[in-house]
Amino acid sequence: MKKIIGIIGGMGPLATADLFRKIIDVTEAERDQDHIRVLIDSNTNIPDRTKAILYDGADPVPEILKSAHMLEEDGADLLIMPCNTAHYYFETISHSVDIPMLSMIEETARRLSRMNIKKAGLLATDGTVESQIYSDTFKKYDIETIVPDSKGQNEVMKLIYKGVKAGNWNRDLGGFRKTLTDMRERKSELFVLGCTELPVAFQHYDFGVPVIDPTLELAKCAVYFVGGKIKSETKEKIC
């Protein structure tokens, strides 16, 4: 019998839905019963992670742990969390439960290493960038992390918060496109979509740059971990 995936969601709701959809998309299935059973807690009471890390905002850990424990009690065999910034608290969360938890950052680093990537451009929230949770992990795999300059980082934050999170798709993207160009000139081989809102944005807009989607990497690894079958075209990409 296949095991059950538990998703600590709500950070934000669209990112949670995106992860669930990708779990479905990568699973080889001919009928409902071939898919993975998934428990989702879209806990929108979890405080903003960037505010907590950088500006002494409300601590998100208690609410995250409520979701983790609820999912564990309801039968989840594995936990995953579609929020890059919240991985700042990964060790605290994973050590507070008795079931395994996958790190989307670690799985992304492993995938980049298999691709022989040496320089990766990171697009993420201020909290993710300044906490260095990606760069610290990438160093273990000899991958250099390239981040935007201050103006470029502001453009990334606007796309995340004033774009995807606000449901506002009618935005001037000139500044964001310039940020991508600048980072390519600094030898970024591809871009890490290091905020779970960004895969949603990149599906909506055509930015024309190579990317790696940590949400997709997490989905594939989670399905593989619980014994699901991966579609043939994605087998070479699993953890």
**How far, in whole angstroms, is CA 29 from its chain's centroid?**
24
DSSP output for 65-109 = HHHHHHHHHTT-SEEE---SGGGGGHHHHHTTSSS-B--HHHHHH
Phi then psi dihedrals of residue 45, to 5 deg? -85, -5
Percentage helix, strand, coil for the chain under 3-state DSSP, each rounded to 5:
50, 15, 35
Catalytic annotation present for 195: yes
Phi then psi dihedrals of residue 178, to 5 deg? -65, -35
Beta-strand relationship, 144-146 and 211-212: unpaired
Cβ-contact 34, 60 below 8 angstroms: no
Choose the catalytic residue: 195, 212, 219, 222: 195
Helix (H, G, I), strand (E, B) or coil at 27: strand
Cβ-contact 218, 198 below 8 angstroms: no
Choose the catalytic residue: 11, 61, 83, 164: 83
For the annotated catalytic residues, the residue numbers are 83, 195
